[in-house]
């Protein structure tokens, strides 16, 4: 038995499924997950000494690559002053100012500890601000595991094949309505059905939890218009796209102004950080200044802020990272398309900049239903041979590949060579 297998045998006795987040369990793959010991740049190393080119990148935070020196040093330095005070600190002000002064649609921002918390809080703020209860989300989009969002969710929920979750009372989801991604008509119908009751539409501006599904031409603009016409707020869930597609995220990349935005992942550089922000009149609804309660012991934790702010400052002062990521995306996803063409395999490749994935289906993937036509068994076999060839990807068809600035042209070439062998 490998060390990973031995660890997994122990883990399943004491941790549900042996993991602290379901998708890590390789449930869709059918073998023991690799237990990781360390990571550096674009490489990750498991407890058995195997080295892999990493395309999980901790699900997005490691946009500069693992173990980035400036970030590591900022964390070590911050630790010398203590880990947590439960009091206001200067670096929280710096973080808020840094974001608000550079992202035009954010007047105020609140730090929390995960993307789930960010979404849960933004939804509550939207309901508090509008005095309405209904929320429209999209099938296949994943917005964390708060009760109201566990309806036709993507990511690990989709991977598990369980459409929703046990333990969520109907009362928690009765005000969550599900539309079809890239289908404005489905949104308009829901707006008409619940006229005057919709607090917000929440959307992943690029779907990345049903695999990668880009917004169709006019889709995001259409959501903006529908929200304005119906007095609803538009929430961009930018936990994945935030600070990745551009410093200003998908809002900047597509030129759409949401009313609220949620962040996670990159904002914490691998430390537990989420955030939600937006127009002052909405954010001033949030306690202690407003009537929408939201709190957190470790929110704005100084160590996490040190990591996140260092990463954001680097990204802002090195805009070439974004042009690099664009080029890396073209190399990788364009290379996959070339391989499929050469081999006459009609699988689908969806990508937006550094985010992308290959769907094991012959039909275009534009939403949850078309994503689900993918052959997940074929994906599992592909995943296993790619792993054997030193490529570490998300263990699910319904996730994204995350490129970092540490992935070189050489490494992308090696990845494509492995794909040629494995497809």
Residues that bind ligand KE4 (CB under 6 A): 21, 23, 59, 114-116, 119, 142-144, 155-156, 204, 209, 237, 239-240, 264, 274, 399
CA dist 394 → 278, 345, 398 (Å): 31, 21, 9
For residue 102, what is the DSSP state? T
Q: What is the spatial distance between Cα 266 and Cα 242, in angstroms, rounded to a whole number?
A: 7
DSSP code, position 216: P
Between 20 and 369, whose beta carbon lies closer to ligand KE4? 20
**Closer residue to ligand KE4 (CB): 95 or 240:** 240
Q: Which of 134, 265, 328, 372 is catalytic?
A: 265
Q: Which of residues 134 and 265 has its CB atom nearest to ligand KE4 in the complex?
A: 265
Q: Which is nearer to ligand KE4, 197 or 368 (CB)?
A: 368
Residue nearest to ligand KE4 (CB): 115
In angstroms, the CA 364 to CA 194 distance is: 31
Which of residues 41 and 268 has its CB atom nearest to ligand KE4 in the complex? 268
User: Is 265 marked active-site?
Assistant: yes
**Omega into 288 within 30° of 0, i.e. cis?**
yes
> Which string of b and e fits 195-206 if b means at least 16 CB within 10 Å?
eebbbbbbbbbb
Q: How many CB atoms lie within 10 A of CB 161?
A: 10
- Catalytic (active site) residue 237: yes
Min dist. Cβ of residue 58 to ligand KE4 (A)? 9
Closer Cβ to ligand KE4, 132 or 145, answer by number: 145
Structure-derived torsion over alpha carbons of residues 248, 251, 255, 260, reported in degrees to the nearest 10? -120
CB of 57 vs ligand KE4, minimal distance in Å: 11
Other CB atoms within 10 Å distance of the CB of residue 358? 27
DSSP structure string for 306-353: HHHHHHHHHHHH-THHHHHHHHHHHHHHHHHHHHHHHHT---EEEEET
Catalytic choice (52, 142, 253, 333)? 142
Taking the alpha carbons of 157, 161, 166, 172 in that order, is the dihedral positive or negative?
Answer: positive
| Catalytic residue status for 420 | no
Contacts of 247 (CB under 8 A, 6+ apart): 102, 103, 315, 316, 319, 322
What amino acid positions are annotated as catalytic residues? 142, 237, 265
């Amino acid at each position: 038995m490998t060390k990973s297998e031995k660890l997994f045998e122990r883990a399943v006795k004491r941790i549900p499924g042996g993991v602290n987040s379901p998708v890590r369990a390789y449930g869709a793959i059918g073998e023991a997950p690799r237990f990781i010991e360390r990571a550096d740049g674009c490489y990750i190393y498991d407890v058995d000494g195997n080295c892999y080119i990493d395309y999980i990148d901790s699900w997005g935070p490691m946009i500069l690559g693992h173990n980035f020196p400036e970030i590591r040093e900022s964390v070590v330095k911050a630790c010398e002053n203590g880990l947590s005070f439960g009091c206001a600190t200067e670096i929280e002000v710096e973080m808020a100012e840094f974001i608000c002064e550079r992202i035009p649609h954010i007047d105020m921002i609140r730090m929390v500890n995960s993307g789930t918390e960010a979404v849960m809080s933004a939804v509550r703020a939207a309901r508090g601000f509008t005095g309405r209860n209904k929320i429209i989300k999209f099938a296949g989009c994943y917005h964390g595991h708060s009760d109201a969002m566990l309806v036709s969710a993507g990511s690990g929920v989709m991977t598990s094949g369980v459409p929703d979750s046990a333990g969520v009372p109907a009362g928690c989801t009765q005000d969550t309505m599900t539309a079809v991604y890239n289908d404005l008509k489905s949104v308009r119908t829901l707006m008409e059905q619940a006229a005057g009751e919709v607090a917000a539409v929440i959307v992943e501006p690029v779907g990345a939890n049903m695999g990668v599904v880009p917004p169709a031409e006019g889709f995001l603009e259409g959501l903006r218009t529908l929200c304005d016409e119906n007095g609803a707020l538009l929430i961009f869930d930018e936990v994945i796209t935030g600070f990745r597609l551009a410093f200003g995220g998908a809002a900047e990349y597509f030129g759409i102004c949401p009313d609220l935005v949620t962040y996670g992942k990159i904002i914490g550089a691998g430390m537990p950080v989420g955030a939600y922000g937006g127009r002052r009149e909405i954010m001033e609804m949030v306690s202690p200044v407003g009537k929408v309660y939201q709190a957190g012991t470790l929110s704005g934790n100084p160590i996490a802020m040190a990591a996140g702010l260092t990463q954001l400052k680097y990204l802002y002062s090195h805009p070439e990272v974004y042009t690099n990521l664009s080029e890396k995306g073209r190399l990788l996803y364009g290379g996959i398309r070339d391989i499929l063409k050469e081999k006459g395999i009609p699988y689908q490749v969806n990508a937006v900049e550094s985010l992308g994935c290959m769907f094991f289906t012959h039909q275009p993937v534009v939403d949850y239903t078309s994503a689900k036509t993918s052959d997940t068994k074929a994906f599992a076999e592909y995943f296993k041979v790619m792993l054997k060839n030193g490529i570490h990807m998300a263990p699910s068809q319904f996730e994204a590949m995350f490129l970092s600035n540490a992935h070189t042209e050489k490494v992308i070439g090696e990845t494509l060579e492995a794909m040629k062998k494995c497809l």
